[in-house]
Amino acid sequence: MKNKDKNMVAKVLTGVTNNVLSIAANSRCALIYHQPKQPEALRKFRKF
């Protein structure tokens, strides 16, 4: 792959990762009695 293609793939993966982290930071666990503590680094992706 050329350097330009690698940069494009890296940008897309960064965007996808940020969206997934944002969703995870703003949602609760699906299991009823299992709500682990969120890491402090994940809290910066919250939208509220």
Supply the DSSP string of 8-40, one letter for each residue. Answer: HHHHHHHHHHHHHHHHHHHS--SSSS--PPPPH
Beta carbons within 10 angstroms of residue 25's beta carbon: 17
- What residue ranges do the domains of the chain occupy? 3-43
For position 34, what pLDDT does the model report? 63
Single-letter amino acid code for the residue at 11: K
Name the token pair of 46. Answer: 């919250």
Phi/psi at 34 (5° precision): -120, 100
Name the token pair of 8. Answer: 């494009």
For position 21, what pLDDT does the model report? 82
Read off the pTM: 0.57
Q: Which residue has the higher pLDDT, 12 or 3?
A: 12
For position 31, what pLDDT does the model report? 60
Model confidence over 9-46: pLDDT tens digits?
Answer: 999 999 999 888 888 777 766 665 566 677 777 777 77
